[in-house]
Amino acid sequence: MLKANIAVLVSGGGTNLQALIDAEKSGIIKSGKINLVISNKADAYALERAKNAGISTKTVLKSELGSQEAFENELISALDEAKTDIIVLAGFMSILSANFTNHFKDRIINVHPTLIPSFCGKGFYGLKVHEAALAYGVKVSGATVHFVNEIPDGGKIIMQKAVEILEGDTPEVLQKRIMEEAEWKILPLSCEKVCSQIIKERS
Ligand code: GAR
């Protein structure tokens, strides 16, 4: 069966990457195949997860390339070389410019650990979003998977899942609950949805 080539961009621990790898193994992702993982951090544990799963990896460092443009051009050439059909940002902590997002229009998805449009945009990433949600006192948070355009966290929403905030939650406890109950579920489901759409458009 024809499958879409999936590239996953990471920066850290890679638990969302792991959820994608597991979903491909279990058949939840059946219309795509992860054939490349790119990190913008040399020491990201996500790279180990990719290697353990036999997936090609590449590290692209902005500090070595000197500019955002050179960094994005390096990403684009690696993705084009891998014949990437869909890019999944899974804990990728770098904002991409219109130069990049236009090159892969409607082909980039991102997981964000809140219910967009709350606690999102520039500066809202990782634990910071959960600190902000708890400081605000919201009683429900969750995760969102959306298409990526030039506006940070501004593209069309694909899936969302709400998660309850409990008395005594710390940012770390909330982060873990949102990952387990929402991110690791809706990211693979959204990835399959977009991959199957790509395959359908081709046939
Ligand atoms: C995840 O919670 C992801 O949603 C978040 O960073 C974490 C990465 O964890 N992403 C953002 O905040 C992007 N704005 P992981 O490396 O274990 O998947």
Structure tokens that stand for 189 in this block: 């489901």
134-189: per-residue pLDDT in tens?
999 999 999 999 999 999 999 999 999 999 999 999 999 999 999 999 999 999 99
To test ligand 1's pocket by mutation, which of 88, 125, 187 has the most ligand atoms within 8 angstroms of CB? 125
Print pLDDT tens along the chain (203 aa): 799 999 999 999 999 999 999 999 999 999 999 999 999 999 999 999 999 999 999 999 999 999 999 999 999 999 999 999 999 999 999 999 999 999 999 999 999 999 999 999 999 999 999 999 999 999 999 999 999 999 999 999 999 999 999 999 999 999 999 999 999 999 999 999 999 999 999 88
Got the DSSP string for 22-69?
A: HHHHHTSS-SEEEEEEEESSTT-HHHHHHHHTT--EEE--HHHH-SHH
Residue 63: burial class (beta carbons within 10 Å; 0-12, 13-18, 19+): exposed
To test ligand 1's pocket by mutation, which of 34, 41, 111 has the most ligand atoms within 8 angstroms of CB? 111
Q: Say how many Å lie between the first and final Cα of the chain, rounded.
A: 11
Structure tokens that stand for 95 in this block: 């904002």
pTM of the model: 0.97
The predicted pLDDT at position 184 comes to 98
Pairing mode, strands 57-59 and 32-39: parallel
Query: If you compute the radius of gyration of the chain from its CA atoms, what whole number of angstroms results?
Result: 16
List pocket residues of ligand 1, CB cut-off 6 Å: 12-16, 46, 90-91, 111-113, 125-126, 129, 179, 183
H helices within 38-165, ranges in order? 45-52, 62-65, 68-81, 98-103, 127-136
The predicted pLDDT at position 122 comes to 93
CATH level 2 (architecture), domain 4-202: 3-Layer(aba) Sandwich (3.40)
- CA of 46, closest atom in ligand 1: 16
At position 191, the amino acid (one-letter code) is C
The predicted pLDDT at position 80 comes to 97
- CA of 179, closest atom in ligand 1: 2
